Structure 1
């Protein structure tokens, strides 16, 4: 039997709210399912509330609202937060990504989340509604 975890996209107002919603969808009130992209990817690999056999679906309702809330502005904010602690060998790449996000180009935070779900759990594990 496939477990279904529902995210109400209209409730996603930014990344913090997304982390709360996905945590609650998978693990109940106050639940945890990552608080950043790396932790989220790790959680999707199993052992953090999803079935061990990987038989689950994330149903992301009103995903267009989430896409707006997790757009280029939030992507730029995330990259700005990473800049002070980035390794010098990665600084130029991060600055370029930040410039692109500020200009409204490149992948958004929403795009990255979708990509992580599809990469780690498979495209069939995500229903955008």
Structure 2
């Protein structure tokens, strides 16, 4: 039986809130399902609350609201924060990506999350509503 996890896009006001919303959707109140892009990708690979057989759907309701909240401006802020914690060998790239995002260029956090879901679970797992 397919399990459906619902993300209420109206609750996603930035990346920190996204981590809370997806964690609670999959693992209940206070649940964890990643707190950064790499951890989120790892969680989607299994063993962190989703069915072992991979039979689940992520239904992202009001996704357009999330797309706005996780747009270029927020992406630029996020990448700068990540750069501050990153290994020195990655800082230049992250600063450049942040600058591009600040100019409204390149993928947004929303784009990256959608890509991660589709890459880790398959094209039919994500339903953008």
Using the size of structure 2 for normalisation, the TM-score is: 0.95
User: Which position in structure 2 is the counterpart of 1:89?
Assistant: 89
Q: Is the 8 A contact 2:84 2:91 kept in 1?
A: no
Please state how far the C-alpha of 1:100 moved relative to its aligned partner.
0.6
User: Which position in structure 2 is the counterpart of 1:101?
Assistant: 101
The change in CA–CA distance for 1:99 and 1:117 in structure 2 (over 3 A counts) is same
1:48 matched to 2:48? The reply is yes
Q: Is the 8 A contact 2:83 2:90 kept in 1?
A: no
**Equivalences for 1:72-87 in 2 at 5 Å?**
72-87=72-87
- Following superposition, which runs of at least 4 residues in structure 1 exceed 6 angstroms of deviation? none
Count of residues paired in the alignment: 129
Please state how far the C-alpha of 1:88 moved relative to its aligned partner.
3.7
User: Which position in structure 2 is the counterpart of 1:116?
Assistant: 116
Measure the CA separation in 1 of the matches of 2:51 and 2:107: 29
Please state how far the C-alpha of 1:116 moved relative to its aligned partner.
0.3
User: Which position in structure 2 is the counterpart of 1:2?
Assistant: 2
Using the size of structure 1 for normalisation, the TM-score is: 0.95
Structure 2: any 5+ residue segments left out of the alignment? none
Measure the CA separation in 1 of the matches of 2:68 and 2:28: 26
Please state how far the C-alpha of 1:36 moved relative to its aligned partner.
0.6
User: Which position in structure 2 is the counterpart of 1:31?
Assistant: 31
User: Which position in structure 2 is the counterpart of 1:65?
Assistant: 65
Structure 1: any 5+ residue segments left out of the alignment? none
Measure the CA separation in 1 of the matches of 2:63 and 2:27: 21
